[in-house]
Structure 1
């Protein structure tokens, strides 16, 4: 049975055009990328004209006592008591903004205690927004509550993170995602779910209604499955309706206050949405109900990734990938291609995989990019894909 399964997988992959060879497709750019910032990690970085900006969520550094100072010489012992306390360790997590150049030094420009964060960087790097969330993980839960209160903050920089302004924002209102059209216009999305909009660069925020079915009275921290802002300036919100066994996708064009259901996808969970200027919508979805809502015995069943299209009139299933190729993101390339970004889970360590289509999703060329990287991203404006492995930075072009 194992060999039959492997043969079936190979046939499926070959059918859409499999291209092996992870290392040969990459050009090495740097051998010591982000090496000086400890602990190790490149963060969610961006590169433009040789300059680097990165948003990095990081754990505190752990140090150990010299052998002669340990209570047991044969066991490693942290230097300070808090290093062994899970709650205190979490309290010392932080978010950093780092900046510099590929040819020179990359340094910390901002740091704030945080266990969660999101950011938005303008394409021309003129403006940067950052939101942080922090809760006291060492404190007892409040009576009758399942969660500790979280402190939320919102920051803005107009000089690539050198100086920061803390914007007015209620500390008890979570912000999970930032979605901006430009430096002045954008949305915040938080638990509930809730949506806020600004027209003036974050000076004022108006809360907008969300689809009633997206809320769960038993879970005040309910979130959308996916929130995406398309090239057509339409905010799309996806959530799974368990009663109907469908994902509902609502659309909110800029300037309107109330979203409308655009379409549904039966029996799939939305992973990503990409939309071009004309409003053609492409959806990456995973077959089945949300993973954690499934009974334990059903969680290991195959869950193929599927790409769909919506043209404001009808929904079309473009392609279903082998179950071993798990998709996480979907992009529109500068030459109007579709780029599927995922992982091949049939490999020992999980190789990174992309698939590209230049005929609207009819045929796909699958490429093995090598073992899973420690960081990277795809630049939809330039068609450059970046990858970090160890301290090495690589790039390739996917136009």
Structure 2
């Protein structure tokens, strides 16, 4: 009885006291090693996951060690961080919540991103890999990276490699549907396809987004709205403001829509009518700050752009650090973040159903290994340990 009570108390601590979670599975993806749920998606009782994983390392039995008091790896490469990094991979996992999980695809990768069609019929996957055991090329800041682009049209069971220049990084994928979409890479650069990835056209990006000293410069944020407009944000240090550009589908050149002085854009969500909601953090981008200033309080703020006016909707307390903003199925706003007031930091959500005037903050607890919010169904998924939970945020 005592052990059961302890388990209940522990679960309450992990999941928070203000939320109504429902347990779905107690051994979620437990058999795939090394353990980790990856970037998973659930549809009815079926799941797909894109999982970046480290290689498994093993140690010799005590009787086989040269010194029985010290652990020894079974293979020499396990001692090398570079060799270990080279053996990282991305997997596509497929299965049922109450059944076996199968590896459908695996490729060496140290970075990856994917796009999954709403009906799961089509998947795109981009991978990046560099040899971490070689010395840095003379006079260069970065090692060369090999980029590949893959596509599946049967829910991830079979894959084809699409034609793509291996020296052109792909960091993010944003698609309207299986045939039309964008790729965003270092530079920054943007490419567009209208024929399911058979051909790609590079589009111009705002001149101020480039950094001549850094060939791997990226946008602070790129988001595709429900209105089929691609929006990109970057910080203009000379103007001390974030610039948000908009690129409607079918147009080749983006136009500046609005700016947010003194804030870095963290996320953007736009509805079908083109109303834009922005989550920002006060101050310049994190890595542009001097090290001594990076831990200073930086409040998160939610804004609304209606096409002509920028309105400041709400500022959260400095200890609530926001990193995602969603539109719920019932046209609410969902703030996703971390409460950094505690030592370990708790996951929190805040929901507004009155256009951002008032917010209900909920503590989701600690120890999440993964999860996501499904903007189509209003279901929020969370993994703690080997357990999968769900709750509804309509």
d(CA) in 2 for partners of 1:89, 1:159: 32
d(CA) in 2 for partners of 1:306, 1:216: 27
For residue 381 of structure 2, the aligned residue among 365, 378, 386 is 386
1:72 paired residue number: 67
For residue 116 of structure 1, the aligned residue among 107, 111, 118 is 111
Q: Tell me whether 1:132 sits opposite 2:130 in the alignment.
A: no
d(CA) in 1 for partners of 2:243, 2:18: 40
d(CA) in 2 for partners of 1:300, 1:328: 16
Gaps of 5+ in 1: 1-19
CA contact (8 A) 1:22 1:371 kept: no
1:59 paired residue number: 54
Q: CA deviation at 1:23?
A: 7.5
TM alignment of 1:295-314, pairs within 5 A:
295-314=290-309
2:286 paired residue number: 291
For residue 211 of structure 2, the aligned residue among 216, 219, 224 is 216
d(CA) in 2 for partners of 1:75, 1:81: 15
Gaps of 5+ in 2: 1-14
d(CA) in 1 for partners of 2:150, 2:297: 42
d(CA) in 1 for partners of 2:142, 2:350: 40
CA RMSD of aligned residues (A): 1.0
2:43 paired residue number: 48
Q: CA deviation at 1:22?
A: 3.6
The two structures have a TM-score, normalised by structure 1, of 0.94
Q: Secondary structure at the match of 2:368?
A: coil
1:9 paired residue number: none
TM alignment of 1:317-336, pairs within 5 A:
317-336=312-331
Q: Which moved more, 1:343-352 or 1:34-43?
A: 343-352
Q: CA deviation at 1:21?
A: 4.2
The two structures have a TM-score, normalised by structure 2, of 0.95
2:4 paired residue number: none
CA contact (8 A) 2:240 2:261 kept: yes
d(CA) in 1 for partners of 2:280, 2:73: 44
CA contact (8 A) 1:237 1:251 kept: yes
Q: CA deviation at 1:80?
A: 0.8
| CA 21–172 in structure 1, closer or farther in 2 if over 3 Å, else same | closer
2:89 paired residue number: 94
1:5 paired residue number: none
How many pairs are equivalent? 380
1:205 paired residue number: 200
1:186 paired residue number: 181
d(CA) in 2 for partners of 1:223, 1:296: 20
